[in-house]
Structure 1
Amino acid sequence: MPPASPLPAPVAEDVTVLFSSAQIATRIAELAAAIAAAEPQRLLVLAVLKGSFVFAADLIRALHGVGLRPEMEFITLSSYGEQQVSGGAVRVVHDVESDVAGRDVLLIDDILESGRTLAFAKDLMARRGARRAMTCVLLQKAGKRVVPIEADFVGFDCPDSFVVGYGMDDAHAYRQLPFVGVVAADRAAGSN
């Protein structure tokens, strides 16, 4: 997976571009091809909200472009609240409505850091009888794991910086940015 690019000048007073819209679009096309190569059956794409919604929307369109016709659902899990550091316990805020038994489920999340949320979601799908629970993340911070999990599909390796944009937030701000950016050091008290 591609490494982070050097940080250019800030695009806003407190955010600097880490991965541009063009870089993200290219990588999503590559991820869609890799997912199609895994030959999923009865695929259910399950976006972990809120941070993954932009990534999930672009990825599902790219999956359509490579010939897959998945269904899409959403699950809301929380381990952050309004904090920048995970509190550790994961809870289901809004559950998936579809029966996952016997299906391939592709869990989409914005960032794999501690691993708690993604491991929780993957275990939940397995307990509910998913044929296969695969994981796809836009970003990963490999050195931050507290739960032993690796994503099946990864967009980018991410430096240990607090990132926003492309659906990811800082206390509900910055989700609308069309790129992934780094919040200035004085704002980034924690990490994603």
Structure 2
Amino acid sequence: MMPETMPCTLVTWEEVYRLCREAARKIRTAGAPVDMIVAIARGGYIPGRLLSDMLGVSDLTALKIEHYRGAQKQREVLVKYPLNADINGRDVLLVDDVCDSGETFAVAVEHLRRSGTSRSLHTAAMQLKTVSEFVPDHYAGTIGEWRWIIYPWAVNEDLSSLIEKMRLDTRDPVRLRQAFRRLHDVDVTLRQVEDALGLLDD
């Protein structure tokens, strides 16, 4: 179960673009051949699309692995929707937003190896947590002290999950915003809190 207090970092769209740009630079500098990108859904969708643009790679596909639901970790890492593309003879880049424990990447790599014989297979993430047992071939930045990373495409989902776990006797956005600062060391806007509450009320 997620601890009552857990430090979080809210990543902006500008930071996402900067991280993907840096990852693309490192991939090009390393001379890694890429003619197909496989995004790990859902976190890898947007980084995968940005990298496809930055690297000039038009073949972009995805597979879905479930490890987290909101900020809540699931018991098993499962391939929910397998790869539906031919990777034989291709130079594949497997992309996710963050490499946390490394379990998602490890399962995805094994799945791709069972799915076909690619000419090469490289892995990339915007950010690597140094506690991870799996280290991607390419990453833009590292996170030394463990924190939960809230990316802009998952703000409502993550904040609503955190609100549920806080188990406070209030749904007042102002008080919840204060609780996010106190319990999770993160500044969120009132609108973000209100939108997250909207998910819980649906």
Scaled by the length of structure 2, the TM-score of the pair is 0.65
Q: Residue deviations 1:17-67, cap 9 Å, x none?
A: 655444433332232233234445562101111112222222221112xxx
1:122 aligned to which of 109, 131, 134: 109
Is 1:132 the counterpart of 2:120? The answer is yes
Query: What is the CA–CA distance in structure 1 between the aligned matches of 2:26 and 2:58, rounded to whole Å?
Result: 15
Q: Which residue of 1 aligns with 2:173?
A: none
RMSD: 2.9
Is 1:51 the counterpart of 2:43? The answer is yes
Query: What is the CA–CA distance in structure 1 between the aligned matches of 2:182 and 2:113, rounded to whole Å?
Result: 39
Q: Which residue of 2 aligns with 1:25?
A: 17
Secondary structure of the corresponding residue to residue 127 of structure 2: strand
Amino acid aligned to 1:25 = Y
Query: What is the CA–CA distance in structure 2 between the aligned matches of 1:17 and 1:42, rounded to whole Å?
Result: 31
Q: Which residue of 2 aligns with 1:157?
A: 142
Give unmatched runs, 5+ long, in structure 1.
1-14, 175-182
Instruction: Answer 1 or 2: which has greater helix percent.
Output: 2
Shift of 1:109: 0.6
Is 1:113 the counterpart of 2:105? The answer is no
Shift of 1:116: 0.7
Amino acid aligned to 1:186 = L
Shift of 1:132: 1.8
Q: Check conservation: 1:47, 1:109, Cα contact below 8 A.
A: yes
Query: What is the CA–CA distance in structure 2 between the aligned matches of 1:28 and 1:116, rounded to whole Å?
Result: 22
Query: What is the CA–CA distance in structure 2 between the aligned matches of 1:22 and 1:150, rounded to whole Å?
Result: 25
Pair member with larger Rg: 2
Query: What is the CA–CA distance in structure 1 between the aligned matches of 2:9 and 2:66, rounded to whole Å?
Result: 26
Shift of 1:165: 2.1
Query: What is the CA–CA distance in structure 1 between the aligned matches of 2:47 and 2:28, rounded to whole Å?
Result: 17
Q: Check conservation: 1:105, 1:132, Cα contact below 8 A.
A: yes
Q: Check conservation: 2:38, 2:61, Cα contact below 8 A.
A: yes
Q: Residue deviations 1:124-145, cap 9 Å, x none?
A: 21232122221111121112x3
Query: What is the CA–CA distance in structure 1 between the aligned matches of 2:71 and 2:17, rounded to whole Å?
Result: 29
Give unmatched runs, 5+ long, in structure 2.
1-6, 161-179, 186-202
Q: Residue deviations 1:100-151, cap 9 Å, x none?
A: 12212111111111111101111221232122221111121112x3xx4211
CA separation of 1:80 and 1:19: change in aligned 2, threshold 3 A = closer
Is 1:95 the counterpart of 2:92? The answer is no
Query: What is the CA–CA distance in structure 2 between the aligned matches of 1:166 and 1:133, rounded to whole Å?
Result: 28
Q: Check conservation: 1:50, 1:167, Cα contact below 8 A.
A: no
Q: Which residue of 2 aligns with 1:35?
A: 27
Query: What is the CA–CA distance in structure 1 between the aligned matches of 2:14 and 2:70, rounded to whole Å?
Result: 29
CA separation of 1:38 and 1:109: change in aligned 2, threshold 3 A = same
| Bigger mean CA offset, 35-44 vs 158-167 | 35-44
Q: Residue deviations 1:60-93, cap 9 Å, x none?
A: 21112xxxx3400011101223452342x22111
Scaled by the length of structure 1, the TM-score of the pair is 0.68
Query: What is the CA–CA distance in structure 2 between the aligned matches of 1:119 and 1:51, rounded to whole Å?
Result: 15
